[in-house]
Amino acid sequence: MYAQPMSTQERLIETTRELLWERGYVGTSPKAILQRAGVGQGSMYHHFTGKPELALAAIRRTGEEMRATVDRLLGAGGSAHERVAAYLLRERDVMRGCPVGRLTMDPDVIASEELRAPVDETIAYVERRLAEVVQEGVDQGEFGPALVPADIAATIVATVQGGYVLARASGDTAAFDAGVRGLLALLGSSPAADNPAPSAPSID
């Protein structure tokens, strides 16, 4: 199932991440986790006290991966606009949605302060990093001085998350691509905006 050998603990965490993305918290039963991970019940409870603790580890891991992706894209060379475009146009599995964003629609996650915390922290981190790049663009004259970086960052995140919802509702990634192109056009013309990257598995 996995390309590289994993410890039992790692298989449990990675399997839970996948199931949370596919089914949500309620649909991710301990039985489903054990079956997909290919481990016994004793192994699960050797590493975790139960499903909530395992789910928390999985959510934290997903958040860490998203932050690393954001840092890689926004920390690369190029203008502020190019880096924002790289974030917006990167390869994604649009129809599957965002593994972090989808958790915000899971009532069981939102009802749990502990499970919700890494979701909130990850979204806040993404917005903060985007705001820093937009501020650079304002300081360097790429973007208009009237732009409020925090507001633009929130708009970028809302466009991405809303684009996932519209794409899933219509069954077509065109809705996501249109939102991204429109936002980039508002921020300023960019050659990359005319050629959005194809949709493919990734993490947002």
More confident residue, 112 or 5: 112
CATH code of 61-194, in short, is 1.10.357.10
Percent of the chain with pLDDT over 90: 81
Residue 163 has pLDDT above 50, yes or no: yes
What is the rounded distance in angstroms from the CA atom of residue 191 to the CA atom of residue 75?
Answer: 20
Residues 6+ apart with CB under 8 A from 152: 130, 131, 134, 143, 187
Most confident stretch, 4-8, 42-46, 110-114: 110-114
Q: Provide the token pair at 60.
A: 């934290």
Residues 6+ apart with CB under 8 A from 146: none
At residue 5, the pLDDT reads 65
What is the rounded distance in angstroms from the CA atom of residue 52 to the CA atom of residue 59?
Answer: 10
Q: What is the pLDDT of residues 66-77, one digit of tens each?
A: 999 999 999 998
Q: Provide the token pair at 82.
A: 């190019």
More confident residue, 123 or 45: 123
Residue 140 has pLDDT above 50, yes or no: yes
3-state DSSP call for residue 45?
helix
At residue 4, the pLDDT reads 55
pTM of the model: 0.86
Residue 189 has pLDDT above 50, yes or no: no
Banded model confidence at residue 196, pLDDT cuts 50, 70, 90: very low
Q: What is the 3-state secondary structure (H, E, C) of 101-145?
A: HHHHHCHHHHHCHHHHHHHHHHHHHHHHHHHHHHHHHHHCCCCCC
From the list 171, 165, 167, 155, the residue with the least C-alpha distance to 88 is 155
What are the CA-CA distances from residue 115 to residues 26, 30, 59, 189 (Å)? 13, 17, 7, 40
Average pLDDT over residues 31-38: 93
Q: What is the pLDDT of residues 57-67, one digit of tens each?
A: 999 999 999 99
Average pLDDT over residues 112-125: 97
Percent of the chain with pLDDT over 70: 90
- Phi, psi (deg, nearest 5) at residue 95: -70, -20
